[in-house]
Amino acid sequence: MPLAGDALTFIRHFEFVIRHFPSPTALSMRILHLTPGTGNFHCGSCLRDHALIKALRVRGHDALMAPLYLPLVTDREFGAQELGVQIGGISLFLQQKFPWFHKLPRFIHRWLNTPDHLRMAAKRMGMTSPKVLGEMTLGALLGTEGRQWGEWHKLIDWIRAEKKIDVISFSNSLLSGLAPAIEKELGIPVVCSLQGEDSFLDTLPEPYREQCWEAMKRNARSVRHFIAPSQFYADHMRQRLHATEEQMKVIPNGIDATAFTTASADPNWPTIGYFARMIHGKGLTTLVDAFIDLAKRNTIPRLKLRIGGSKTAADDKYVAGLQEKIAAAGLTNRVEWRPNLSFKDKVHFFHDLTVFSVPATYGEAFGLYVIEAAASGVPFVQPDHAAFPELLLATEGGILCRPDDPKALADALESLLQDDVAREKMARVATARVRQEFTSTRMAERFEALLLGATARAA
């Protein structure tokens, strides 16, 4: 017997609500995300964190982002007031030097850690000696056993005073020194993202390098789940942290793909693009050498190189050396430097590219810049190692070449620049794939499912 009209209408409305709105369980989560700020430049980790928190809020969660060390530098504003720096880098530095520092009056700490003072300190980060950097990193990872704990415990007290937190998320594993105390004192499950920490830790001088890794392994026992952005990095860090397979999960990073416009490069001025930190480790030397090689071949007339991304005072000497090399090759007028761009300018940067490459020399955990290029319809050439083969398989948006080899990179760039049909197909397929699998919404959905599992186990 057919249902009455009102009953049928009710059922249809009910089905619509079930399909389009998060469940009551998901809406109840209160998430605290702890993330280090950079003070004066953009970084891939910060961009990923902002995209994640914004998408979690859209899904109905009460997601808080608490910056540590230095103020956050964002691509775009959230549209809502964020929390201030909870534990300032200046206080932590002085606490490492003077164990009694945390006992000084609170107004002294507030004065030292004002945003202006922290940004001034950020400008001097490149002057920090490797020894001091090692001491500070180890001090944080030692947690309750480290000299910084007098300051870090204030964060534990602040979390305790907040209304109920369901789960705490660390932006990276360098914050894992907090995990044992959170587990013991607060009983809140901790999840920890992995964002390329090994490349930093492995550059520390001994004995800090070995001691930091040992502390990380101990802290890992108090982390419910580690979240790697690629299977490559999940496998790599599971071994280095002595983590279990159950602890290690993979959630690819995501972006607001719709914010990027489809590239439309001038065919009369083919342009290779680079957008990452302007440092040797990201492969900028390799790319500059490959560009000089291509210019000498003259198989791609009027070829240009556009270099964008973060640059700090510590990078000035390195960049100046590359500029001298480019000048010696007579190519200064064909290379454009665009450091520290706003989000709007970054979108325009990608819009004018023909191909893209950041030939990182180390085991890159993900490479958010590759996804940004693919979202813009710009084919990429990346080294055949680390997470890049996974990104190529997932997007079909480019080609791979032999790592750390300027000639191999030049050959790959040349072949792609000369094949209009291949570039057009790569751009079309990659843009669609990014908008399907590498959005901030998709990242938040996967993250949400993981957090629900973690909180269910804690209940």
pLDDT digits (tens, 9 = 90+) for 250-309: 999 999 999 999 999 999 999 999 999 999 999 999 999 999 999 999 999 999 999 999
- 313 and 213: one domain? no
Residue 11: what pLDDT?
Answer: 36
Q: Is residue 403 part of a domain?
A: yes
Greatest alpha-carbon pair distance for the chain in Å reads 86
- 203 and 277: one domain? no
Q: How far apart are CA 346 and CA 343, in angstroms?
A: 5
In terms of pTM, does the model score above 0.85? yes
- How many Cα atoms occupy the beta-carbon half-sphere of 276 within 13 Å? 24
Phi and psi torsions of 203, nearest 5°? -95, -5
Residue 86: what pLDDT?
Answer: 80
Whose CA is closest to 400, among 382, 417, 413?
382
Q: Is residue 215 part of a domain?
A: yes
- 427 and 454: one domain? no
Q: Is residue 17 part of a domain?
A: no
**Element housing 323 (H / E):** helix 316-328
- 138 and 92: one domain? yes
Q: How many structural domains is the chain composed of?
A: 2
- 332 and 408: one domain? yes
Q: Which residue has the tokens 């990276």?
A: 172
Q: Is residue 415 part of a domain?
A: yes
- 223 and 296: one domain? no
Number of C-beta neighbours around residue 420 at 10 A: 11
Residue 27: what pLDDT?
Answer: 56
Beta strands in 221-300 (DSSP E): 225-228, 248-250, 271-275
- 359 and 278: one domain? yes
Q: How far apart are CA 295 and CA 57, in angstroms?
A: 48
Phi and psi torsions of 400, nearest 5°? -115, 160
Q: Hey, what are 222's tokens?
A: 């108090």
Question: What is the distance in angstroms between the CA of the first residue and the CA of the last residue of the chain?
Answer: 45
Number of C-beta neighbours around residue 106 at 10 A: 8
* CB contact at 8 A, 281 and 364: no
Q: Is residue 16 part of a domain?
A: no
Whose CA is closest to 55, among 256, 304, 314, 229?
256
- 308 and 417: one domain? yes
- 46 and 189: one domain? yes
- 453 and 417: one domain? no
Residues in the chain: 459
Q: Is residue 117 part of a domain?
A: yes
Q: Is residue 8 part of a domain?
A: no
What is the span of the domain harbouring residue 360?
257-437
CATH (domain of 234): 3.40.50.2000
Give the list of residues 6+ apart from residue 202 with CB closer than 8 angstroms, or none. Answer: 209
Which residues face 73 on adjacent strands? none
- 156 and 295: one domain? no
Three-class SS state of 65: strand
**Residues in the chain, pLDDT under 70:** 1-27, 38-44, 72-82, 115-128, 458-459
Q: How far apart are CA 150 and CA 349, in angstroms?
A: 45
Per-residue CA distances from 404 to 322, 356, 383 (Å): 16, 16, 8
Whose CA is closest to 72, among 91, 32, 45?
45
Phi and psi torsions of 398, nearest 5°? 180, -155
Give the distance from CA 223 to its chain's centroid: 20
Q: Hey, what are 282's tokens?
A: 């990201």
Q: How far apart are CA 262 and CA 219, in angstroms?
A: 44
